[in-house]
Chains A and B, each alone.
Chain A
Amino acid sequence: MSEDYFSYTNEIFDQSRIAEKPEALKGIRVLDLAHVIFGPVISKWLALFGAEVIKVEEPEEGDPWRTASYWAKYWKDSSPFFQSFNPNKYFVAIDLKKPKGKELVLELAKKSDVVVENFRAGLLEAWGIGYTTVSRINPKVIYISCSGYGQWGPLRFFPSWDLIAQSMSGAARLTGFGGKDTYKLPDYYGDFFPGLLGAVSVLAALNYREKTGKGQLIDMTQVEALMRIMHHWSYMDLTGEDLKSSGNVDPSMAPSGIFKTKDGKFVAVAIATDEQFLALLGAMGKMDLAEDKRFKETTDRLKAENAEEICKILEAWVKEKTEQEIVALAQEKGFPASPVMDDWRMVDDEWRRERGSVVELEDEMYGKGIWPLPTVALQKTPGRLKRLSRPVGYHNHYIFQTLLGLSKKQVNELERKHVIGYWGNRVGQKPPSYYDMENDPIFNFDQDEKK
């Protein structure tokens, strides 16, 4: 045990050995009927850890996020954001409104362990491909239906977006300076967090099924997921008052805030405990405040008037220090302080590459790129990025032949009848302009030829 702890952990999490390790979810098949973000990120987690995910899209249209991108800027004729929600998946395109399309989906569902969908509540049931139908042909299926408000209740059919969920949960009014102003939680938190809890519930259901052999329906909602993380309900009951937005101060931490440094940068400092407070005072050289009865105990520091005083003292101190000086003192003394990072600094930070949350991939279709992976390192069964997304319908032949046993001719017939299809002529749906699709062995897959 004389080996230093971090040498030991660096060894067991060695990023260069990920490819040789097994995958935890190998053998689990997921039918992904989802679109936009909320649903697709559930199967993203499953795909990264080894599940076989088959994403079904509408022919000629595809997932709406394919054509959405920041400021309408694209990367190699694709939306880099769509790429990041849909790694390691198979892409087929089926018209769900056609009877034959429904049959095809049911065939896939019969052979799947998990079905993920986020259409309007009840819509897939009404179309005859919902849980009650699928569970009859596949009783072990775990079927997660994602919606804004849930499959049940007076609001069930009302539509939702991330931002609508933020508004219907009360989260929308919590960011700002306590006055009229209010800001959104950016980058679609109202999709990503509910999606993560959706993945959690599927994993819990898979654990349960492993033991009992039973499948089930999961009713996952955006709004309830956001309500789950708010302290406000209890605060109203305990105090009778509203817990309003409070700018950069976290009312649970005193002192706390985002402050400007001597070198014009921003750092966040937040003190949760007495121990951290003493560490901060040590860094500030103001140990006399440790005995001040306004600040000595956490409970007193948190009182609004005392918190304001101690925040002012902290603000004045930060103003005289550079970002580097504050971070060095935090490391030495042990109090919570961080620089306020931005997009570019984060990509540039060697830390994320060492951790494996920023990875480089050489993709067969899109070439070299740098992509985010969830910052969850599993020592023996790590998640991994194997390939990026593919154009709408790219895996039609491959999946329908290998999984459903159709011949190339039969798949072509389905295409002729518009039951299945391919991309429309729009950026994001179609292959990159430089790519030679005619000679792509997967796109032109022919099982018989292989034999």
Chain B
Amino acid sequence: MKEGEGKTQAFSRHLVGKAASEHLSNFNKLLAGMMVSSQGKPEALQDIVVVEVGQANFPGIITAAILGEFGAEVIKVEPLEGDSARRVSPYGANVKGVGIPFFMESRNKHYITLDLQSEKGRGNFRKLISQADVLIDAQKPGWMDSFGIGYRQLSQLHPGLVYVAVSPYGHFTSKARENCNIPDTDLTAQAEAGYPALVGDPEAPEPYNYPLKAGLWVAAYMSAGLAVAGALTALLHKRRTGEGQMVDVATYDAISSWQGFSLVWGFTFEMPRVRVGNFDWTLFPYGYYEAKDGYVTVAAPADADFRGLLKILGRWDLENDWRFIFDRITDDVEKLKVLEEEFKKEFLKHTRQELVRKTLAYSAQAAHDKLRGKGFPIIVETKSPREVLQEEHWQIRKSFFEVDVAENEKVRIPSSVPKMSDSPPRIERVECGVGADNKKIYEKFGLIE
């Protein structure tokens, strides 16, 4: 319960002292209770039934998984041979034939098989849908409709249905029609959203100067987050009016439309941004620097933070020329490179731990400054996933969940996000056999074997 208070350093004078600790004590009790376990607590969506259909579409798979974490009963309907997404995995790594992305997003799901191309399968499907609240359609646009089980037919059968369509270009517009055959992948979604055009080093030799993709599934997860937000917004409307509706998400527009920087920039300045490697366009310094033994991440963009950083590095001589934020945010990249080179040289002189320690010492002292004029420069180690696993903080918060996959073999997956005091999201089980829950679900919903 102490959560290592000795090690918990407060970098604000507002967080220390008698008054603050009195205020914080009730809060701490509440938080400690939130970290223990979600078991037995109510679930936010425990009255909701979600049905998922799709073929090799991870945004759809993740959308259903997140709704399941918040307590919805999620039933994934697969063809008899299973979703081909099951085999997708980094270098083919798998848990009993199931790839990591599918395994990870099997949390709390029930798997049943139905042949939607047969009349019997569709009869069962209609019966299931008539008892469901949400359908996630991650098939190609129009595929469900062509079998008589799309939105326009199902909404007649069940006007309260929230029908969430997840596809690359969406289910309407002329471009959606032209591209309705194109399947979703994270990489192509990143490309269509203009993301790789912002990443990489344009001065490197070919092909290292190409637009570069983000090394994790940023588009698939952003798409899923948007689809869940859309589904829950529509569910609130349903709770108040009884009315269902169609929700349409274009995965190839997820990052571009939610982050929005590309579109705002494009409109305001009528040209694309140029890539500037690891520079930031708005904040400086704000990036990765090489230290003696690996990378550190530095964020000290405000004037006060910048002054603090110069003190930590012992480079007050730079202060005069680079004092103001407008000296450091400039479209003159050549000018900024002068300062960048100085920093590069300086960071290389220290180990990562030396830099972190100096920063913490500086910050602890600066926190007592009444006017906060000493700033809050931040330097942390740029951690690899393996280093992250060593961090005690995440163990205390139970940020990883272990799945028993065989005797003495556990596989970690990330826990549900976020923590909530009354109806927290959680992982109840991870099982993913094709048709594993046929018996239970067929019986419960009155489907015909």
Contact = CB atoms under 8 A, between A and B. Distances in A.
A159 B222 CA distance: 24
A225 B221 CA distance: 10
A444 interface: no
A123 interface: yes
B393 A234 contact: no
A204 B186 contact: no
B88 interface: yes
B376 interface: yes
Contacts of B89: 231, 252, 302
A317 B326 CA distance: 47
Nearest to A65: B282
A367 to B, nearest CB: 13
Interface in A144-179: 149-159, 161, 163-164, 166-177
B49 to A, nearest CB: 14
A13 B92 CA distance: 40
A169 B326 CA distance: 31
Interface string B218-253: 100110011111101111110110010111111011
Interface of B is mostly: mixed
A199 B48 CA distance: 19
Choose among B90, B100, B180 the residue with the greatest number of A CB atoms under 10 Å from its CB. Answer: B90
Interface string B386-429: 11110111101101100000000011111111111111010000
B381 A167 contact: yes
B237 A381 contact: yes
B173 interface: yes
A114 interface: no
A210 to B, nearest CB: 5
A128 interface: yes
Given A155-B393, A203-B233, A173 B383 contact: yes
B213 A125 contact: no
Interface stretch (B109-117, B118-126, B147-155, B337-345): B147-155
Given A6-B177, A152-B35, A352-B253, A379 B246 contact: yes
Interface in A97-136: 120, 122-123, 125-128, 130-132
B87 to A, nearest CB: 4
Contacts of A229: 216-218, 221, 414
A228 B417 contact: yes
B215 interface: yes
Interface stretch (A67-75, A410-418, A433-441): A67-75
B2 to A, nearest CB: 10
Interface stretch (A286-294, A370-378, A397-405): A370-378
Contact of A375 (B246, B249, B299): B249
A424 interface: no
A193 B210 CA distance: 25
Nearest to A83: B264
Contacts of B32: 152
A442 interface: no
B412 to A, nearest CB: 4
B334 interface: no
A210 B232 CA distance: 12
A207 B239 contact: yes
Interface string A224-242: 1101111111111111001
Interface band, chain A: 35 or more
B243 A380 contact: yes
Interface residues of B, number: 200
B272 A354 contact: no
Contacts of A204: 44-45, 70, 232, 423, 425
B56 A273 contact: yes
Nearest to A178: B215
A385 to B, nearest CB: 12
B103 interface: yes
A111 B230 CA distance: 26
Interface stretch (B283-291, B314-322, B431-439, B441-449): B283-291
B257 A352 contact: yes
B104 interface: yes
B15 interface: yes
Nearest to A166: B297
Given A234-B411, A381-B233, A268 B187 contact: yes
B176 interface: yes
Contact of B170 (A41, A151, A199, A355): A355
A164 B418 contact: no
A309 B257 CA distance: 36
Nearest to B8: A154
**Max chain A C-beta neighbours (<10 A), residue from B146, B226, B325:** B226
A207 B44 contact: yes
B310 interface: no
B199 A187 contact: no
Interface string A17-37: 000001011000000000000
Contacts of B240: 210
B273 interface: yes
A125 B384 CA distance: 33
Contact of A184 (B90, B103, B278): B278
B417 A186 contact: no
B422 A214 contact: yes
A163 B330 CA distance: 20
A313 interface: no
A158 B11 CA distance: 7
Interface string A260-274: 100000111111111
B312 interface: no
B274 to A, nearest CB: 10
Contacts of B249: 375-377
Nearest to A176: B215
Nearest to B367: A157
Contacts of A248: 187, 196, 207, 210, 212-213
A203 B236 contact: yes
Nearest to A221: B418
B80 interface: no
B191 interface: yes
B218 A218 contact: no
B281 interface: yes
A216 B421 contact: yes
Interface string A348-384: 1111101101100000000001111111111111000
Task: Give the top 7 A-B pairs by smallest Cβ distance, nearest first.
Answer: A347-B266, A268-B191, A174-B215, A170-B385, A203-B232, A216-B422, A342-B272
Given A126-B19, A253-B185, A272-B85, 11 more contacts: A1-B153, A152-B397, A167-B380, A170-B387, A200-B232, A208-B45, A208-B423, A220-B417, A235-B93, A252-B89, A272-B185
14 contacts: A1-B148, A13-B248, A80-B268, A166-B297, A216-B421, A217-B421, A229-B217, A231-B89, A231-B104, A242-B385, A269-B187, A336-B187, A343-B263, A371-B263
